[in-house]
Amino acid sequence: MQTDLVSEQFEQQGFVLIKQLIESSAISKLQNFCQHLDDEAKSHYFLGQSLDNIAIIQNADTLHISRINSLFLFEPQFACLLAHTKLMSYIEAIIGEPALPTYESIVIKHSQDTHGFDWHRDMPVSTQTPIITVGIYLDDAKAEHGALKVIPRSHCSPLSVCDIKRQLTNSELMSLDVTACAGDVIIHHVNTVHSSTRQEAQAIRRTIYFEFRALSHLINNPIFPNEWIKKRQALIKNIQTLSAKHLQHDIQLPSDFYETQIQMEAAEYCIEFTK
């Protein structure tokens, strides 16, 4: 997909689906990394060990890992995605200048989880350069897999999420299902109102998420310390200088990479109380 078309659709619609951007060989490796993390987290849980940055769902005797934050802490090899030339070129074309990832996580949806994600904005903010969420799909995400639903052009809307939900209920707005296959990437503006239903199919759905912001935004935003920015810049530089062969084994994370905790802006959900 041409870069200008990606940028144009993102600007107009608030999201863009890029088909088969990540090669099948890379997806296979990422799936293996994810399965290893899942097994390791469950083992730590049963041993009573700490599970910081890991969310767990337990139904009866069944245990499932639903989310892992600070992803590079558990498996630095996920950072190989930051060396994916096409992915990074799309990201910087959309943002319009050099950008850095501000968080990285993986979400794992299971049929045993009875909840989806209600309509929300990742972040109700107004910035000179767009802040984006990048979803890299390790598995297919059809309707029965709790596929992403978006409200096109809602990234430009001044309406609250509650107002938009009312318009959906009254058929004044239409949502769009964005189905994806393993290897696809969906990029959306943090202001784009979106949701996903519960996972009804038995297969799991694993998605790696990054948030990216313009370097100029980070430098001028007091919540991001200069030392934190430098660590992320150094990680990107180091990864992008590694050869494809060394990317498979030689990604190393500084021991203090996650030492500084950033309090990110809150998401916007609709919470209404009945009288």
Checking if the pLDDT of 2 tops 70, the result is yes
Distance CA 89, CA 82 (A): 10
User: Within the chain, what is the greatest distance between any pair of CA atoms?
Assistant: 62
Residue 83 domain-assigned?
yes
Is 275 a member of any domain? no
Does some domain include residue 252?
yes
In a domain, 274, yes or no: no
Q: How many domains does the chain have?
A: 1
Task: Give, to the nearest 10 degrees, the angle between helix 3-13 and helix 85-95.
Answer: 50
Reported as a single tens digit per residue, the pLDDT across 27-57 is 999 999 999 999 999 898 888 888 899 998 8
In a domain, 35, yes or no: yes
* Distance (Å, whole) CA 44 – CA 66: 15
The strands making up 15-18's β-sheet, listed across from edge to edge, are: 15-18, 185-189, 132-137, 205-214, 99-109, 62-69, 54-59
* pLDDT tens profile 68-124: 999 999 988 999 999 999 999 999 999 999 999 999 999 998 877 777 789 999 999
Euclidean distance between CA atoms 119 and 234, whole angstroms: 36
Is residue 139 in a domain?
A: yes
Domain of 243, CATH number, reads: 2.60.120.620
Is the whole model's pTM more than 0.85, yes or no?
Answer: yes
Domain contains 51? yes
Supply the range of the domain harboring residue 135.
3-269
97 domain residue, yes or no = yes
**67 token code pair:** 């989310």
